[in-house]
Amino acid sequence: MRINDAILGAVLLVFSLVVGLYARTFPAIPGQEYGASVFPTWISIALGLCSIVLIAGGLRQWAETGAVSLASWARSGHHLRALAITIALVVFYILASTPLGFIPTAFIALAVLFAMLGVRPVLVPVLAVGITMVVHYGFYSLLRVPLPWGVLTPWAW
């Protein structure tokens, strides 16, 4: 998929303006010329200049390429649904891993992914449980990463 550079540049220009304005709100250090806002301000100025160059370049090619040329996957509902599910699973893990615990969350995420990617239905729960427990053993028991227990806290080891 190709998005015209002018659109990317416009988004970046807005982003750099927001960053630059937000950076102005950082408090200055009394008696010092340079505070926390110096680097973000410079970066936003440089990013703004880059985005203007991108816009100029993109507008020149606008006639040939159009605004957005969609790749084949962007028109396929199956692929778009798969992408949405993948992103939703990452968000689900972020939100649910603390209250629900690592083991149930990882099991659900893996089971959904496997089912989506066409693993045989019989194997889905087996693989999901197996891989969850291997990852849990590796990171929790061997590497001592404090993975959350959530609802399984009474049975924690």
Partner 1 sequence: MNAILLAAEMVFQPDVLVTIVLAALFGLFVGAVPGLTATMATALLVPITFFMSPVSAIGAIVTCSAMAIFAGDIPGTLLRIPGTPASAAYTEEAYAMTRKGQGELALGANLLFSALGGLLGTAVLIVAAPSLAEVALQFSSFEYFWLACLGLTCATVVGTGSTIKGLVSLMIGLLVATIGLNNPAGVPRFTFGNVDLMGGIDFIAAMIGLFAVSEIFRYVLGLSADTSNVQAPAGNLFTGWGKLFKQY
Interface residues toward partner 1, by CB under 8 A: 12, 19, 22-23, 26-27, 29, 34-36, 39-40, 43-44, 46-47, 50-51, 53-54, 57, 73, 79, 82-83, 86, 90, 116-117, 143
Q: Which is nearer to partner 1, 142 or 154 (CB)?
A: 142
3-state helix vs strand vs coil in the chain, percent to 5: 75, 5, 25
Q: Which is nearer to partner 1, 118 or 121 (CB)?
A: 118
Task: At 84, list the tokens.
Answer: 């949405």
Q: 88 to each of 16, 18, 101, how far by Cα in Å?
A: 28, 27, 18
Q: Which is nearer to partner 1, 50 or 131 (CB)?
A: 50
Please, which residues have CB within 8 angstroms of residue 115's CB and are 6 or more apart in sequence?
121, 124
Shortest distance, position 26 Cβ to partner 1, whole Å: 5
Shortest distance, position 106 Cβ to partner 1, whole Å: 15
Q: Strands 68-69 and 2-3, how do they pair?
A: antiparallel
